[in-house]
Amino acid sequence: MPDREEILASADPALAEAGRRGLTTCLGAVKDDTVTVVADEKNIVVGAAFLSAAIDAGIKTHAFLMEKHGKRPMKRFSDSAVQAIESSTVTVLAVTPQPGELKSRIQFIDLTTKHQIRHAHLVSVSPDALRMGMRADYNAVDALQERILEVLGHAGGVHVFSALGTNLDVTFANDHRWVRSNGLIKPGYWQNLPSGQVYTCPATCDGSYVADWSIGDWFEQSYPDLHEHPVTLSLSGGRLTSVSCPNRKLARELTLFTRSSKNGDRVGEIGFGTNPFLKFMKGQMVLNEDVPGVHLALGDPFQDKTGASWSSSVRVPLVGAGMSITAGDRVVMEEGVFAPDLLEGLPEMSG
């Protein structure tokens, strides 16, 4: 493909091992595969790490630099990109989203699901986040998720609280599936990389949630660090009732964004980070979702994964730190650290 050399020119040797582990450990790519890498200019270094790894392994590749195939924000991928994706067994999308691009990312995911492709989704992932994330032992993360889901699967819901003011009661929906992002990607499935979370679409969320670390989608570029202006969401019946924040501009923008589409104000995801190898990083929403804790997303519930009966054309995730979780009388987490019995016997999991 014409963009291959341009993307490869941005390859960083310091990311070679991260790209190799992402491609082989997480995506399970081998010589018989065909790998398509789509990157944009802001994430070209991350895309190049995967493309270089595939070429070094002797795997057939296609490569696309988004800005060469349409104007941003991109509503749909080009016909040539779609054809390459459909002919692939492994795909990688490394982009920094712009307002209005959720539809094109959903288009990409739908193609990978339809054609049984193993897909890695890297949204606004920095080189440092990729380097840290690919150091994780994803088999250990997978084992921890088994234990956590055994607890959550028997609980009708959880209570989440934090020193900053999170005080949230979450009820799980029996007809919604739990989704595991364990870094081990199978055909027909996709995961964010770095990885390490379990999530579902809740039945209800009531109370308050304080996000003091990250806000996703296009907000992350303007607000990479929420420490100085934490966002407090007030929720009732699983819907957003109000947003408060010292930064009034952010509060206004978030409120308007969630009102811009049907169900944009609805909680589409309650997620639990399960990767103790990771540490919070400024401006790295995807990685921060996987650090032990609780995050949520307003808007689209990824209904193909969770089984939710509704959808939305917008989605914005948020992450707060220092979360504690109880499921009935059972302590699951205290201030961002899993209960000792959940970690017992697992490999050392410090990142």
Residues 219 and 81 both lie in one domain: no
| Rounded mean pLDDT for each run of 10 residues along the chain, 351 residues in total | 88 97 96 97 97 98 94 90 96 92 90 97 94 91 95 94 98 96 95 95 98 94 93 98 98 97 98 94 92 97 94 96 96 96 80 50
**3 state SS of 101:** coil
The residue among 192, 180, 204, 1 whose CA lies nearest residue 88 is 1
Which of residues 84, 110, 133 is at a domain's end?
133
Residue that is last in its domain, among 96, 111, 133: 133
Whether residue 155 sits in one domain with residue 125 = no
Between strands 293-299 and 267-273, the pairing is antiparallel
Specify whether 229 is located in the same domain as 321: yes
> Which pLDDT score, from 0 to 100, does residue 1 have?
52
The pTM for the full model equals: 0.84
Residues 331, 332, 337, 339, CA torsion sign = positive
Task: Tell how far CA 148 is from the center of its chain.
Answer: 19
- Quick one: 186 and 328 in the same domain? yes
Q: How many domains does the chain have?
A: 2
Does 191 share its domain with 110? no
The reply to whether 80 falls in a domain is: yes
For strand 231-236 and strand 324-327, is the pairing parallel, antiparallel, or unpaired?
Answer: unpaired
| Residue after which a domain boundary falls, among 109, 133, 157 | 133
Query: What's the length of the chain?
Result: 351
Residue 331 pairs in a beta bridge with 326
**Cα(150)–Cα(109) distance, rounded to whole angstroms?**
28
Per-residue model confidence (pLDDT) at position 318: 98
CA 284 to chain centre: 10
Cis peptide before 194 (omega within 30 of 0): yes
Same domain, 201 and 324: yes
Residues 249-258: pLDDT tens digits?
A: 999 999 999 9
Q: Kindly report the CA angle at 166 between 165 and 167, in degrees rounded to 5?
A: 105
Closest by CA to 59, choosing from 86, 30, 36, is 30
Q: What is the rounded end-to-end Cα distance, in angstroms, of the chain?
A: 37
pLDDT for 347: 74
Q: What is the CATH number of the domain that holds 15?
A: 3.40.50
Residues 15 and 63 in one domain: yes
Residue 234 is part of which domain span? 138-343
